[in-house]
A = this chain, B = another copy of it.
Amino acid sequence: MANITKKVSWSSRADDSAAAAAAAGEGTPLLNGSEQPRSFRQHAAGGSLFQIGRLTTVELEEEVTADEDSLRGQAREIPHTEKLLSLKYESLDYDNIENQLFLEEERRMSHMSFRCLEISRWVVCGLIGLLTGLIACFIDIAVETLAGLKYEVIRRNIENFTETGGLSISLILWVGFNAAVVMLGSILVACFEPIAGGSGIPQIKCYLNGVKIPRVVRLKTLVIKVFGVICSVVGGLAVGKEGPMIHSGAVVAAGVSQGRSTSLKRDFKMFEYFRRDTEKRDFVSAGAAAGVSAAFGAPVGGVLFSLEEGASFWNQMLTWRIFFASMISTFTLNFVLSVYHKKPGQLSNPGLINFGRFEIESLEYSFYEIPLFIAMGAIGGLLGALFNFLNYWLTIFRIRYVHRPCLQVMEAMLVAAVTATVSFTMIYFSTDCQPLAPENSEEYPLQLFCADGEYNAMATAFFNTPERSVRSLFHNQPGSYNPLTLGLFTLTYFFLACWTYGLAVSAGVFIPSLLIGAAWGRLCGILLASISSSGSLWADPGKYALIGAAAQLGGIVRMTLSLTVIMVEATGNVTYGLPIMLVLMTAKIVGDYFIEGLYDIHIKLQSVPFLHWEAPATSHWLTAREVMSSPVTCLNRIEKVGTIVDTLSNTSTNHNGFPVVMQVAGNDEPAKLCGLILRSQLIVLLKHKVFVELARSRLTQRKLQLKDFRDAYPRFPPIQSIHVSQDERECMMDLSEFMNPTPYTVPQDTSLPRVFKLFRALGLRHLVVVDDENRVIGLVTRKDLARYHLGKHGLEELQLAQT
Contact = CB atoms under 8 A, between A and B. Distances in A.
A280 B519 CA distance: 44
Given A111-B794, A569-B574, A741-B749, 9 more contacts: A110-B618, A299-B581, A308-B316, A312-B313, A327-B578, A345-B366, A573-B573, A761-B761, A773-B773
A103 B751 contact: yes
Given A103-B620, A312-B314, A561-B323, A744 B772 contact: no
Contacts of A323: 561, 564, 581
A107 B620 contact: yes
Contacts of A111: 617-618, 790, 794
Contact of A578 (B315, B330, B569): B330
Contacts of A1: none
A372 to B, nearest CB: 14
Interface in A320-371: 320, 323-324, 327, 330-331, 335, 344-348, 350, 357, 360, 364-368
Contacts of A773: 672, 773-774
A109 interface: yes
A594 interface: no
Contacts of A742: 746-747, 749-751, 754
A565 B313 contact: no
Contacts of A585: 320, 324
A303 interface: yes
A311 interface: yes
A196 interface: no
Contacts of A565: 300
A568 B742 CA distance: 45
A173 interface: no
A577 B106 contact: no
Interface residues of A, number: 88
A25 to B, nearest CB: 27
Interface of A: 96, 98, 103, 106-107, 109-111, 114, 297, 299-300, 303, 307-308, 311-317, 319-320, 323-324, 327, 330-331, 335, 344-348, 350, 357, 360, 364-368, 560-561, 564-565, 568-569, 572-575, 577-578, 581-582, 585, 613-614, 617-618, 620-621, 672-674, 741-742, 744-747, 749-751, 753-754, 757-758, 761-762, 770, 772-774, 790, 794
A335 B346 CA distance: 36
Contacts of A673: 772
Nearest to A107: B621
A561 B313 CA distance: 16
Nearest to A368: B345
B367 A613 contact: no
Given A315-B614, A327-B578, A621-B103, A98 B751 contact: yes
Given A303-B561, A319-B308, A754-B98, A761 B313 contact: yes
Given A315-B613, A618-B111, A772-B774, A744 B758 contact: yes
B106 A620 contact: yes
- Chain B CB count within 10 A is highest, among A110, A617, A746, for A617
A331 to B, nearest CB: 5
B364 A772 contact: no
Given A103-B751, A106-B620, A574 B577 contact: no
A772 B673 CA distance: 8
- Chain B CB count within 10 A is highest, among A578, A582, A753, for A578
Given A573-B573, A761-B761, A314 B314 contact: yes
B772 A674 contact: yes
Contacts of A357: 360
14 contacts: A103-B620, A110-B618, A300-B568, A313-B761, A314-B314, A315-B614, A316-B560, A319-B561, A320-B560, A323-B561, A323-B564, A324-B585, A347-B575, A674-B772
